[in-house]
């Protein structure tokens, strides 16, 4: 399988990205999508599962793209995919992403609003999730599949037992459905497990939160390993509390022992005021100034995990639009290059949001299937050189 990313240089990168966008996408509404854009059962070929460590696997992931604000909508019903204003995902969208240089995608999925009183996932929803996974899997891309925006697994001692039971029931269904997929499909046990709507939500948490997240991570691993097919060798991503990279969150993080197919999941929109903060005046980036937040993060993850043989994936990063696209492109190159130096692949959050002053992380315009900011995509690819 060819998993190499071709190197692109200078203006040629932007040109290639724009040409791929214009040539490779279906602009029709979902109901008008021609038959050839779908994935059939015959298209899904599972290679023999390679028995390699997660450290080896992570080296093959160059850079990833996240399908944000789509299957992770918290609406119910099969139309939830478009409830937050995004178009129904097509295989052509994923082709455009691949042609731009990404060799992996992350598929965030909200499941709780599609489960009945017995915690059984709606079959139509499960089928649709599998179809979207196959859009990338059949194009020889790595895929991260997770549970996202769930409101039932906040990490408290008094709710831990119920949360773990529901987590195990859900992942048993997901793991069973995808049991025959090879190592290109990675399961991410949770997204950002945290004490929502409290002062502990985003500041790294407390001992209780850390303990329960560790318990849920361990239960997730045990559940997947107990299923059939390729799940005994499935590569699994485990988040710290809230996927936080602060000292307390990573200091209390416990990785289950005796399993070489586990990956630490971290989210890091840094420097915070520039990349995620709501102050629209924070539009400047300086590698020797606020860029030290990025450098310090990579050094911390290297010391805490990588130097101990524990692989890490930054499952979410990006810089929201503040009318500073050229600066964001420079930031993209710096961020990815710093992550590459220590051996951490990054997944870029793209919610297809472009208007207003909110969290506009949009890069791919899914209506026209063109890159809205090709220079930023070019910046990410330059960071890999």
The answer to whether residue 36 is domain-embedded is: no
The answer to whether residue 91 is domain-embedded is: yes
When the pLDDT of each residue in the chain is averaged and rounded to a whole number, the result is: 91
Closest by alpha carbon to 58, among 378, 269, 306?
306
pLDDT given at position 23: 46
Catalytic annotation, pick one of 92, 192, 330, 378: 192
As given in the structure block, the two tokens for residue 108 are 């965030």
Confidence band of 45 (pLDDT split at 50, 70, 90):
confident
User: Helices (H) and strands (E) in the chain — how many of each?
Assistant: 11, 10
User: By percentage, how much of the chain surpasses pLDDT 90?
Assistant: 86
pLDDT higher than threshold 60 for residue 32: no
Cβ neighbours for 311, distance < 8 A, ≥ 6 positions apart: 54, 55, 57, 58, 263, 264, 305, 343
The answer to whether residue 312 is domain-embedded is: yes
The DSSP 8-state label assigned to residue 142 in this structure reads E
pLDDT higher than threshold 50 for residue 151: yes
CATH number at residue 359: 3.20.20.80
Coil, strand or helix at 44: coil
CA atoms within 13 A on the CB side of 291: 18
Whole-model pTM: value is: 0.91
Residue 123 bears catalytic tag:
no
pLDDT given at position 37: 62
pLDDT higher than threshold 90 for residue 79: yes
pLDDT higher than threshold 70 for residue 27: no
The answer to whether residue 18 is domain-embedded is: no
**Tell me: the pLDDT tens digits for 162-189?**
999 999 999 999 999 999 999 999 999 9
pLDDT higher than threshold 90 for residue 42: no
Contact criterion met (CB below 8 Å) for 223 and 168: yes
Q: How many domains does the chain have?
A: 1
Residues 30-48 as b/e (b if ≥16 CB within 10 A, e otherwise) read eeeeeeebebeeeeeeeee
User: By percentage, how much of the chain surpasses pLDDT 70?
Assistant: 90
The answer to whether residue 205 is domain-embedded is: yes
State the first-to-last Cα distance of the chain, in angstroms, to the nearest integer: 21
The answer to whether residue 27 is domain-embedded is: no
**Tell me: the pLDDT tens digits for 280-320?**
899 999 999 999 999 999 999 999 999 999 999 999 999 99
Summarize the confidence of residues 358-371 as an average pLDDT: 96
CA angle 150, 278, 276 (to 5 degrees): 60
Confidence band of 12 (pLDDT split at 50, 70, 90):
very low
pLDDT given at position 350: 98
Contact criterion met (CB below 8 Å) for 306 and 325: no
Domain hosting residue 206, numbered range:
42-382
pLDDT given at position 1: 39
Distance (Å) of CA 180 to CA 47, 184, 338? 9, 11, 35
How far is residue 44's CA from residue 63's CA, in Å, rounded to a whole number? 23
pLDDT given at position 177: 98
Summarize the confidence of residues 41-49 as an average pLDDT: 82
The answer to whether residue 309 is domain-embedded is: yes
pLDDT higher than threshold 60 for residue 28: no
pLDDT given at position 124: 98
The answer to whether residue 19 is domain-embedded is: no
Catalytic annotation, pick one of 150, 316, 330, 378: 316
Coil, strand or helix at 143: strand
The DSSP 8-state label assigned to residue 236 in this structure reads E
Summarize the confidence of residues 87-106 as an average pLDDT: 98
How far is residue 270's CA from residue 276's CA, in Å, rounded to a whole number? 7
Distance (Å) of CA 278 to CA 16, 168, 319, 357? 33, 37, 11, 8
Distance (Å) of CA 303 to CA 238, 250, 255, 300, 322? 18, 11, 15, 5, 33
Summarize the confidence of residues 108-137 as an average pLDDT: 98
Residue 81 bears catalytic tag:
no
How far is residue 243's CA from residue 264's CA, in Å, rounded to a whole number? 9
pLDDT given at position 25: 58
Q: What share of the chain is helix, strand, coil (3-state, %, to 5)?
A: 40, 10, 45
Closest by alpha carbon to 119, among 59, 169, 181, 69?
169
Contact criterion met (CB below 8 Å) for 65 and 104: yes
Report CA 195 to chain centroid distance, whole Å.
21
Distance (Å) of CA 279 to CA 274, 275, 276, 320, 360? 8, 10, 9, 11, 13
Closest by alpha carbon to 329, among 269, 383, 277?
383
């Amino acid at each position: 399988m060819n998993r190499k990313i071709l190197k692109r240089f200078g203006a040629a990168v932007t040109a290639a990205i724009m040409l791929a966008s214009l040539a490779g996408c279906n602009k029709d509404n979902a109901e008008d999508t021609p038959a050839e854009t779908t994935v059939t059962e015959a298209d899904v070929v599972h290679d023999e599962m390679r028995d390699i460590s997660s450290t080896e696997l992570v080296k093959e992931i160059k850079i990833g793209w996240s399908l944000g604000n789509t299957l992770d909508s918290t609406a119910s019903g099969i139309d939830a995919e478009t409830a937050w204003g995004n178009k129904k995902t097509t295989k052509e969208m994923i082709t455009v992403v691949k042609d731009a240089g990404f060799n992996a995608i992350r598929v965030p999925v909200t499941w709780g609003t599609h489960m009945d009183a017995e915690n059984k996932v709606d079959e139509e929803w499960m089928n649709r999730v599998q179809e979207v996974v196959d859009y990338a899997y059949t194009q020889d891309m790595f895929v991260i599949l997770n549970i996202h925006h769930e409101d039932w697994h906040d990490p408290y001692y008094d709710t831990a037992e119920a949360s773990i039971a529901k987590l195990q029931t859900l992942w048993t269904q997901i793991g069973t459905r995808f049991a025959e997929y090879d190592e290109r499909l990675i399961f991410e046990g949770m997204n950002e497990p945290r004490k929502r709507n409290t002062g502990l939500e985003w500041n790294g948490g407390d001992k209780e939160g850390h303990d329960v997240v560790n318990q849920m991570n361990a239960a997730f691993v045990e559940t997947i390993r107990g299923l059939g097919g390729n799940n005994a060798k499935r590569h699994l991503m485990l988040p710290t509390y809230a996927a936080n990279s602060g000292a307390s969150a990573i200091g209390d993080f416990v990785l289950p022992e005796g399993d070489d197919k586990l990956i630490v999941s971290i989210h890091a929109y840094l420097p915070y005021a520039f990349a995620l903060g709501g102050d629209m005046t924070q539009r400047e980036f300086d590698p020797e100034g606020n860029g030290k937040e990025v450098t310090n993060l990579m050094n911390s993850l290297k010391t805490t995990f990588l130097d101990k043989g524990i692989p890490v994936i930054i499952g979410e990063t990006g810089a929201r639009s503040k009318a500073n696209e050229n600066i964001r492109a420079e930031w993209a190159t710096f961020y990815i290059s710093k992550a590459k130096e220590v051996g951490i692949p990054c997944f870029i959050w793209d919610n297809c949001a472009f208007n207003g002053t909110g969290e506009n992380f949009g890069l791919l315009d899914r209506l026209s299937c063109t890159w809205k900011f090709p220079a930023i995509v070019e910046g990410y690819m330059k960071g890999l050189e």
